[in-house]
Structure 1
Amino acid sequence: MGGTKKVTITLPVELLESMKSHTDNVSGYLTELAERAERRRLLREDLDRYQGEFGAFTDEEMAEARTLLHGTEATGQAA
């Protein structure tokens, strides 16, 4: 992403204090969280589009994906 733009946001005081307790760069922290959320959104759109065209993923495909992501056969529980 190119460039930056300053914006004003409103956060609950407790949340801001919690963030400040483990980072000196709240702006960078929030940027990283927003980038992760955007990547997840784009991936979800791609996966939905794929499944719309080719059908839902099978249990075997999901197991293989979990193995690739986590290095072992996952149990179906969220990490």
Structure 2
Amino acid sequence: MAKTRKVTITLPAELLDSMKTHTDNVSGYLTEQAERAERRRLLREDLDHYQGEFGAFTDQEMAEAQALLHGTDGMEHAA
């Protein structure tokens, strides 16, 4: 199990109330959201580094990525 540390955070009351309408585990919910944000940040860093080294992605590369991510044939985004 991952090591945890207890922290105190302050949230707008309306946001907390909204979260509580769909989860009984606010801590777990916030952890999941933070993990997603961190994965997106790390991916963005990797993509920026790649493009810095090899240049911007082509339209074809972007269409292929869309196809992999969304299960499309990749052609509707290519122009």
Q: What TM-score, normalized by structure 2, do the two folds share? A: 0.90
Match of 2:36 in 1: 36
Which of 1 and 2 has higher RCO (CA within 8 Å, sep 6+)?
2
1:24 and 2:29 correspond = no
Match of 2:5 in 1: 5
Which residues of structure 1 form unaligned runs of 5+?
none
The answer to whether the 8 A contact 1:19-1:26 is kept is yes
Q: Deviations over 1:35-77 (max 9, x none)?
A: 000000000000000000000000000000000000003755x
1:69 and 2:60 correspond = no
Moved over 2 A (4+): 73-76
The answer to whether the 8 A contact 1:23-1:29 is kept is yes
> What do you get for the CA RMSD once the two structures are aligned?
1.6
What is the CA–CA distance in structure 2 between the aligned matches of 1:47 and 1:4, rounded to whole Å? Answer: 30
Instruction: State the aligned residue count.
Output: 76
CA drift of 1:2 comes to 3.3
Alignment identity in percent?
Answer: 80
